[in-house]
Amino acid sequence: MSDVVTTTRRLIEVMGTVVTIDLFGEVDPAQTDAALERVEKSLHDVDRVFSTYKPTSALSRLRRGEVALGETPPEVADVLDLCQRAKTLSAGWFDPWSLPGGVDPTGFVKGWAAQRALDELRELPLFGAIVNAAGDIASFGGPAPGVVFRTGIVRPDDPQRLAAVVQLHGALATSGETQRGAHLYNPFSHEYFTAVASASVAGPDLGVCDALATALSVGGHDVLALIDQLDGYDAMTIDADGSMRATPSFAFVRN
């Protein structure tokens, strides 16, 4: 019998943060290592192409007008097309083209990259897997057969305490300004401003969840009502006074 592992964790420093990958299941270590190497390369490729901090990235050069869209790697056009769809879904509250300095799909790319990383792991015979990109989570399965992953959403006024515990049925993105300060741009008022203290969106695709969480942060409860109409996506908000609102199907863990 070959050696097996029951859990594996890999930490990858990329995109200005740490991406944590947790695998659950009995797999051959060599097979696991090969898959994780592909994931790590994929994440670093995304950073190389889409970073707004690296002056040599394809996106930075596009923003400065040094290259046309057709001269960038094909994934740039693919991501911008997906951003346009997310802009439509959010009624314009997520709008990478409104940001000062030129188009900036950062609010979509991190989730999109984590979702792509998760898809690389589906070929492994796992019970489940989690890719956690600075709190935005893509997942499938669970820690054991028939068990669903659970995760906590922290309180915006006290990140050492949980506001809620939820079941993971795919992806979950949370957006707010508690950790990073004012960095979320309102495309209609043209200012850095959020309507709620914390915004979380759950659904099948982390790129879309990431974009919608940004939209929910700046658009507030009007966007919450909009997300309630989207198939497969649910959301919750926490206001500055600590009050919470959620779509009816948001997967809270009930005591």
Residue 24 in tokens: 């659950």
Q: Which domains does the chain have, with CATH numbers?
A: 5-246 (3.10.520.10)
CB atoms within 10 A of CB 211: 31
Whether residue 109 has pLDDT greater than 80: yes
User: Average pLDDT for residues 111-121, to the nearest whole number?
Assistant: 96
Whether residue 4 has pLDDT greater than 70: no
Q: For residue 137, with 0-12 CB atoms within 10 Å meaning exposed, 13-18 middle and 19 or more buried, which class applies?
A: buried
- Asked if 64 and 36 count as a contact pair (C-beta separation under 8 A), the reply is no
pLDDT, position 89: 97
In the numeric block, the tokens 């709620």 are attached to 196
Measured between alpha carbons, how far is residue 44 from residues 3, 51, 173 in Å?
A: 29, 10, 21
Residues 6+ apart with CB under 8 A from 210: 107, 108, 110, 111, 112, 136, 173, 175, 201
From the centroid of its chain, how far is CA 193? Answer: 20
In the numeric block, the tokens 């982390």 are attached to 206
Residues 6+ apart with CB under 8 A from 191: 185
Q: What is the pLDDT of residues 67-105, one digit of tens each?
A: 999 999 999 999 999 999 999 999 999 999 999 999 999
What pLDDT band is residue 116 in, cutting at 50, 70 and 90?
very high
Radius of gyration over every alpha carbon of the chain, rounded to an integer in angstroms: 18
Torsion of CA 95, 108, 201, 239, to 10 degrees: -50
pTM, two decimal places: 0.93
Whether residue 2 has pLDDT greater than 50: no
Share of the chain above pLDDT 90, in %: 87
Pairing of strands 234-238, 198-203: antiparallel
pLDDT, position 126: 93
The total number of residues shown for the chain amounts to 255
pLDDT, position 178: 65
What pLDDT band is residue 29 in, cutting at 50, 70 and 90?
confident
Query: Cα–Cα distance between 141 and 180 in angstroms, integer?
Result: 31
Average pLDDT, the chain: 93
Across the strands, what pairs with 152? Answer: 165
User: Average pLDDT for residues 8-30, to the nearest whole number?
Assistant: 91
